[in-house]
Amino acid sequence: MSLPNFFAELKRRNVYKVAIAYAVVAWLLMQVASQIFPFFEIPSWGVRLVVLLLIIGFPIALILAWAFELTPEGLKRTETADAAHEHSRGTLWIYIVVIAAVLSVGLFFLGRYTAQRATSKELGANERLPAGQVTQQSAVEKSLAVLPFANLSGNPENAYFAAGIQDEIITRLAKIGELKVVSCLTTQRFKSAPDDLPAIAKQLGVANVLQGSVQRSADAVRVNVQLVKAATDTHLWADTFDRKLTDVFQIETDIAKTIADKLRAKLTGSEERAISAKPTEDLEAHELYLKGRYLWNRRTAENLKKALSYFQQAADKDPNYALAYAGIADTCGLFSVYGVGAPQEYLPLARAAAEKALALDDSLAEAHTSMGYVYYASFQPAESAKEFERAIALNPNYATAHHWYGRLTLVMMGQLDRAMEEVKRAYALDPVSSIIHADLGGVEVMARRYDEAIEQLRKTLEMDPEFYWAHRFLGIALELKGDVDGGLAEYKKAFELNDDPAGLAFIAHAEAGLGQQNETRRLLTQLTEARKSRYVQAYAFALTHLALGEKDQALNWLEQGAHERGGTYLCFIKVDPFFDSLRGDPRFEALVQKVAGGKS
């Protein structure tokens, strides 16, 4: 058949008419899907599925048009219709095209009109807001808190898995710049399905809440999630993901993308790649990492030891797992703080692990945060600041980066106002974290704002009465304000909750302030004995000798601590109120220069 005859045959068999009619009707169906599906809360992938099916159906429709003829007696093969001289009525196709076109155009302009009205209404509402609140309102509408995911596996030991899925969803959401994501990971104060969502959302400073549950069985996992607009308790979206355990990262990605879509947060190309990243191909390594991070988030000396073991096993299973090395660095870095081990032994391990994590993935905010901590503990504040700032640039919603940058490095450098700003930013991102609550008070202590510190620390203890850091910091604030008896009571409470030997030094300092020199020396002996079997910060001995008026011995211990890179308290020597009596002493000022740079 020649080409002109082929085109003539296409026309005779109504293929052209079918193509035009199909295109118009397909456009109509796409308009219906885009306008009607959101009303019934059908996910956005439903619209994409309709479009895909219509595209696939187009060549099928053309083939059917070639092979069959629509006659007054019904559908017949073209050859049969030709033999009987039966053909379709031309006006039928015209009616189909015209009706579909009218409906399509109507739906198109209806969508444009309603969108314009919605936009105008939003703009009008924004214009009525006080100056400077338009952007703030938009940001609040794109905010959400991720409540603890319920563990429905029937085995309490799987709690780490539910918490891990929640944590990784938070991590992926935090990489979306237009979203404000609040974590509730470190607290059990909120249930996965609380009774009063509006009150909780108001407390957390968010407009939306994500609730969820995780059920694991052998090699399968079920994740239920629902996104709720808290003020009206309206469900914006809910879904259930039944997948193989190997698809867990894809579940997290799908959830993050859908939430961004529902909250109208636009994703950049780099953000889309970031939330789609698969941190490891080894499922067993991933589970080991989740166990380690679960214990690290519930920090005690014993939990940190177990966490390190899990992180090391994860790295052994997958030597390219950057997050596992970041976990090793974070854990080793905290060992001296919790009296688990000496910094001379574990700080080099932390540095090596942080460097390995960065070598594997330089775009990982967690790795830069780990490195920032290593530099801080190594008395390199300028380098530490650069790493924390890099981490924050990569992930502005990463609370730990803001927290450590403010409470550690900026306090170390004496930049107390900036330090408070960063810790407040961490608090906004994780408002139920006990350690962030307590560290707000800790910064106030270093700034000599004792009344504000006491108020903040009492609030922390209302939230978490058994949190020993808050009791210790409150004791410091009370003692420095002049309430030595009150400070001593808080120090003893802190030591009851956690037997970190450094706690004895604060008790000894308060006892000396009350004239109990013999008790102070007894506690100094107890510290000396403790140092034989476990790590005790040099700071503890310096503080005790200073309480006894033995400045030279105090300076000896501070110098030894500086040589050892010894513990977190020593890093704050530049601003620590306990050492005010040493300021101006050449030995002390040399220490300040060595540890923090600059004069005290």
Which CATH number fits the domain that encloses residue 409? 1.25.40.10
Helix (H) or strand (E) holding 227: strand 220-229
**Are 326 and 263 contained in the same domain?**
no
CA 450 to chain centre: 31
Whether the CB-CB separation of 208 and 125 falls below 8 Å is answered with: no
User: What is the number of other CB atoms lying within 10 angstroms of the CB of residue 173?
Assistant: 26
User: Are both 400 and 506 inside the same structural domain?
Assistant: no
Taking residues 78-98, report their average pLDDT: 56
Quick one: how many helices (H) and strands (E) in the chain? 28, 8
Is pLDDT of 89 > 70? no
Top pLDDT among 355 and 135 is at 355
Query: Within this chain, do residues 144 and 229 fall inside the same structural domain, yes or no?
Result: yes
Residue 384 has pLDDT above 70, yes or no: yes
State the DSSP code for 431: T
Q: Last residue of some domain: 431, 447, 471?
A: 431
pLDDT reading at 164 higher than 50: yes
Structural domain tally of the chain? 4
Indicate whether 383 and 405 sit together in one domain: yes
For every residue of 279-340, DSSP letters joined together read: S-S-HHHHHHHHHHHHHHTT--HHHHHHHHHHHHHHHHH-TT-HHHHHHHHHHHHHTTTTTS
Residues 164 and 94 in one domain: no
Domain identity same for 102 and 241: no
Q: What is the pTM of this model?
A: 0.76
Q: Is the dihedral of CA 106, 110, 112, 113 positive or negative?
A: positive
488 domain residue, yes or no:
no
The pLDDT value given to residue 133: 41
117 pLDDT exceeds 80? no
Within a domain: 421: yes
413 and 555: one domain?
no
At 2, the pLDDT band (50, 70, 90 cuts) reads: low
Three-state DSSP state, 413: coil
The larger pLDDT score, comparing residue 338 to residue 412, is at: 412
Regarding whether 148 and 94 lie in a shared domain, the answer is no
Q: Domain containing 169: what range?
A: 139-275
454 in a domain, yes or no?
no
Q: Is 415 exposed, middle or buried (0-12, 13-18, 19+ CB in 10 A)?
A: middle
pLDDT band at residue 564, thresholds of 50, 70 and 90? Answer: confident
pLDDT band at 91 (very low <50, low <70, confident <90, very high): low
Count Cβ atoms within 10 A of the Cβ of residue 359 and give its class: 0-12 exposed, 13-18 middle, 19 or more buried: exposed
Domain edge (last residue) among 275, 292, 309: 275
Do 427 and 313 share a domain, yes or no? Answer: yes
| Whether the predicted pLDDT of 257 surpasses 90 | yes
Q: Say yes or no to pLDDT of 167 above 50.
A: yes
pLDDT in the model for residue 17 = 73
pLDDT in tens, 339-356: 888 899 999 999 999 999
Answer whether 197's CB lies under 8 Å from 221's CB: no
Question: HEC states along 68-99?
Answer: EEEECCEEEEHHHHHHCCCCCCHHHHHHHHHH
Q: Give the pair of three-digit tokens for residue 219.
A: 């090699």
Asked if residue 248 is part of any domain, the answer here is yes
Co-location of 229 and 106 in the same domain: no
Report the alpha-carbon distance of residue 425 to residue 318 in Å, rounded. Answer: 34
**Last residue of a domain, which of 250, 275, 300?**
275
Which residues neighbour 148 within 8 Å (Cβ) at sequence distance 6 or greater?
162, 163, 166, 184, 185, 187, 188, 190, 191, 192
At residue 153, the pLDDT reads 83
Is 542 domain-assigned? yes
Give 118's pLDDT tier (boundaries 50, 70, 90): very low
- The token duo for 466 is 């058994």
Cβ-proximal residues to 378 (8 Å cutoff; 6+ apart), any chain: 347, 351, 565
Structure confidence at residue 210 (pLDDT): 92
Kindly state whether residues 100 and 195 are assigned to the same domain.
no
